[in-house]
Structure 1
Amino acid sequence: METPVYDFLVDYAEKNGLRAHMPGHKGRSPENRLAELFRLDITEIAGADSLFEADGIIAQSERNTATLYGSAAAAFSAGGSTLCIQAMLAIIKMEGRRIIAARNVHRAFLNAAALLGLDVQWVLPRYSGGILSGELALPDVEAALAASTEPACLYITSPDYTGRLADTAALAELCHRYGARLIVDNAHGAHLAFFEKNIHPIALGADLCCDSAHKMLPALTGAAVLHTSREEYAPLLKQAMSLFGSTSPSYLIIASLDLCNRYIAEDIRGDIAAALPLIAELKSSFAERLIFAEGDPFHITVRAAESGFCGTELAELLRSSGVECEYADDELLVLLMSPFSDECDFRRLRTALESAVSGASVREKGHRDISVKLPRMACAIREAAFAPAEEIAVEAAEGRICASVKVPCPPAVPIAVSGEMIDRDCIEIFRQYGIKTVLVLRER
């Protein structure tokens, strides 16, 4: 597959012309190890196209992406899925639709809701062992859609941080039956289109979705793609993204998405086919000692507490063997691999995990039960997010109004949302996740 953006950058660098334009480094690096990257880092010069008004090489590369994924249109983001989420919600606001969202959203969703002045109706997933992952029940979603007196849009996160996959096809059918739209935060699932069975949200009926290419594909951090399956949304993608995105997007990030197209076209299916048996073999070797969560196979999520271990301790032991995990807490250990991980990576992970499990202290098996209820909404998200606030100890926050979402990132899943009244249940969850202070509205 052609790589028009990358080819342009290489050609421009090799001409070795005088750069009387931004950036200030002029194609030269003060550090030798970054020298080649600096040579390829440019701005919107003649022929380089412009991300938010693309009609040249960037537009060509985006069309390649849309073809690979089967999207009606695809738009590149150098600002991660955060920018894509902002744009998706802006498009829905343009349509005047009410947002119904599964509660296990990323912090980026809540920040966008504050900026756009959105009111959100929450649907609680049926959590198990923490707030990171839960099953979204179809009857709960249907009840919310049926009760809505306005045109609606359902927003879900799938895969979630642990790799759990929602029943996106069923949710899409349900939404469309009620005349609603479906948005999927697919930040962790850019690879899902290339399994033997395509399970990417666009293939399953989503109207809009975002992929963080950098999470699961060989692309630079911040590389993401906004997809739509609806032709009428195609001209809105860049319009909405330009409201929030930097006017100086990184050409290195854009070029990495361009190169990713070639990887997808030529190599990803073979890499997935090679990796899946290695993942199955790894899990099988620990079948008597570890419980693994179901979902996307590249999210190797250990239910540590249910297996009789502490996820944090396992992560520390892995680190001592040179393996850095994606996330760990008392309950879970998330080991994030990708189709680009090779056989050596999986063998090394298996050896390190064997050492960690052998060296970890054994606990009584079980998981913490967290009672998640929706706190009372005291004021609008936007009103609370922009109101005068103060930081206080979590233990002193009962009865106070949450001003700003405070969550560890990763995983960035909210406990209390801006505008909600903090109650004892919230405080207990804050405590369990090690959060000691919270921003609340200043009392008058």
Structure 2
Amino acid sequence: MPSLLEVTTHFFLQVAIILVTCRLLWPVFRRLGQVQVVAIMAAGFALGPSLLGWAWPSAQEWLFPTTLTVGTATITHPNLTAIYVVGQLGLVLYMFLVGASFKLEILQSHLGKAGATSAAGIGLPLVLGGLVGVWMVGQGGYFTSKVGTWQGGLFVAAAIAITAFPMLAWIIYASGLLNTRLGTMSLSCAAVDDACAWVLLATVVATTKDTMFGAFLAIGGGLAFLIFMTLVARRFLARLNTWTPRDGDSERAGGLPVVPLTIVLLVVLVSSWFTDYVGIYSVFGAFVAGTVMPRGALLNLIRERFEPLVAYLLLPAFFIYSGLNTKLSLIFDAKVLLVAAVVLVVSFAGKFGAIGLVARWQGMSWREAGAMGALANARGLMELILLNIGLTAGLITGQLYTILALMTIVTTFVATPVMRMFERSGWKNGVVFGPSGEERRTTESRSLTD
């Protein structure tokens, strides 16, 4: 068993390797029209058994050990636990920052359109995913004996219907779409779709334990949390903008007053704990905490100080953890490759078609509707979270994990280039995506490759 010093020393090396890999991959992915989060996701898989483990197995196993043998027992390696915890902290803080940047007024002005597109974005993919899941259960080899036919259908339905809210938030932010109708509605749809997917996952996990308590707790606890934060917590947190230090209280952390900063962090962490406890995952609690925070100088300063540390130091650890569970060698079989191809086609076409067509029916232009359909396929983070839960709960096999992880990589990779294809089409016609939809371009805007 390694000592605490050995775990810490090796962890520092792991983080350094992660950072170097991310920086080396970013120029390549930038030329491919991607945003940095996609390069970070790719770095996670590159350092896992699928690439580094294939090219140099001994180095990969030494750098990122996953298990440890103690006597006759095999346990999770302490360094893998450290990577997991740091990655979860990065996710929570990142989702808080996304929520703190969310423009609720834009959502309120387009609430009807957001509701219709959310329903389409979850409805059709759920049906298609359910059918594929039932078929996969019949094929055998993708689910464990704990999972029945309808449970397997629900699991794949959730996996196909999900949109990675954190991943999408990064893409929208990096693409300059955060304050546009396209960006706001895409994030709103992702939030609804992810919430539904987590309820389905909670149902599957609960029923494999012969109880529905987990599903009821997820629904009831999630609604109670949302109501409390919106109606009660928001009013008390509004006082942060009027906080003044007492006499002699001059403590500041990097320009931030310590007392308000501590309150904000407590709200984020407790919200994350509660939503994790009820079964709808910590990222939703962190996001809601960000949306109810009072806008002003304090929140702007927190975002400015926290964003670089969270995005480029803490968050990459999550992708490394997911990459270590993905083994592409498991799908190098004609039958399994066919299943992977079916899952990939159904996943992309279901999301793109359903959201794109309904968005167009709701009055969006073809360019904006197409861009929204493309963004809905950014599954990254949330899909990997779902897969990790399914794997650790003993519901799915390594083959299904790898198939869905591969689908996640491909659909997330194509989301940004397809969106930018529609965006460039608008630029050629002198329009950009704005708060009310397509607007005439009046000033020079950002580069589309930023």
TM-score, length-normalised on structure 1?
0.25
More strand by share: 1
Q: Report 1 or 2 for greater relative contact order, CA contacts < 8 Å, sequence distance ≥ 6.
A: 2
Q: Return the TM-score normalized by structure 2.
A: 0.25
